[in-house]
Amino acid sequence: MNSKNNPSRGSSGPEFLSTPPLVMPIYQSAAYIQKDIDQVDRVYENHEPDGYTYGREGHPNAVHLAENLAQLETAEQAVICGSGMAATACAFSVLLKQNDTVVASDQIYGRTAILLDEYLRRFGVTTHFVDITDLSAVETALRCSPRILFFEMISNPLLRVANAPALIQMAHAQGSLVVVDNTFPTPVAFRPLEHGADLVVQSVTKMIAGHSDVTLGAVLGSQSWIDMMQHGMATWGLSASPFECWLAQRGLATLSLRMERSSGNAQQLADYLDTFSQIKHVLYPGRKDHPDCDAARLLFDPCYGNMVSFELAGGRQSVDHLIRNLDQIPLVPTLGHIETIISHPASTSHRSLTVKRRSELGISDTLLRVSVGCEAIETLEQRFRSALQGQGKTGVR
């Protein structure tokens, strides 16, 4: 069902219209009419590729978005899920079984860590967390021949860069599958499948949709893998709504433009923030002082992403002061908005971790993560300058 030959993927509207709409319609229907039970058989057996049955199993808007996203990520196929976590859960639930082992980066989104360490453990899956930037440590961890090596291409929130080609080669040498979360760089900056990754997961909610009005995810890879993911998505009920797929398709059309602008802003904002003495240090993969700058410059083209993290001097009070005084830069627990937003990882994305564990990972209570948007850079600099006034003197270091 819903194979590559589905005409609704490449068309903008129903074929019965002699003047089809420029933009693909929203197919807001929970089910699709079948002429007879023979047609039901043809659709389910994929002999009628332009047919649909029930919205949870697939609909034209999800298929249209999947095709376009797969083309951008250079994947054979994709499946769209109801959130980024739904996509990650779909991949793990399909690939893993009892007594399997996962080697995962120790710097991943907090909910993903919970999924691996708590929920999948209940089903007999063991996860070993490792510093993904330490290739010797990864090599040691892979000696157990895990079912999956999982990592984020750019980690959340410290923006560490994974050496994907080396990691993929090491994992495949042990017979392990490689699943990469490519949410931060997006396929504009990096495409893991071109370097041999088996599957890519994306939080479409973020930069791909780009306007903070969508909650979606995607799994991308070869046709054979995605056929399995499609079945898992429908079985676990991880499907996406037509309207949100339609919104994400709109966002996808401007992804490259938004990434170029916001990444350029991020580079300049990171350099600007580093001139403030009350900011202890700034993290951005494109800066020379970033620990993975060499890897970032080798792998990412044409940009290093729109995420900047920095640590304030002082304590929680200094963080609250900055947040309260940032004009038109709201505190929200997400990223990828068209305009700049800021988050506090210790109290949001990684609040489930113990204070000790956050400290071990370098996620302090004064760490802030900025999702840089498409405003004029002069506007962003002025907003941060105004908010930082009164917290200390400024000066080039």
Is residue 35 annotated as part of the catalytic site, yes or no?
no
Q: Which of 52, 109, 284, 304 is catalytic?
A: 109
Q: Which two three-digit tokens encode residue 12? A: 């903008």
- Dihedral (Cα; 73, 76, 78, 84), 10-degree rounding: -40
Residues 6+ apart with CB under 8 A from 342: 323, 326, 329, 330, 331, 332, 368, 369, 370, 371
Q: Which of 9, 160, 191, 206 is catalytic?
A: 206
Is residue 56 annotated as part of the catalytic site, yes or no?
yes
Distance CA 346, CA 331 (A): 13
Residues 6+ apart with CB under 8 A from 325: 386, 387
Q: Which of 106, 181, 198, 292 is catalytic?
A: 181
Distance CA 152, CA 180 (A): 6
CA angle 123, 215, 44 (to 5 degrees): 65
Is residue 121 annotated as part of the catalytic site, yes or no?
no
Distance CA 390, CA 202 (A): 40
**Long-range CB contacts for residues 289-292, cutoff 8 Å, separation at least 24:** 290/159, 290/161, 291/133, 291/160, 292/133, 292/160, 292/161
Is residue 206 annotated as part of the catalytic site, yes or no?
yes
Q: Which of 42, 56, 250, 383 is catalytic?
A: 56
The strand pairing partners of 130, in sequence order, are 105
Positions marked catalytic: 56, 109, 181, 206
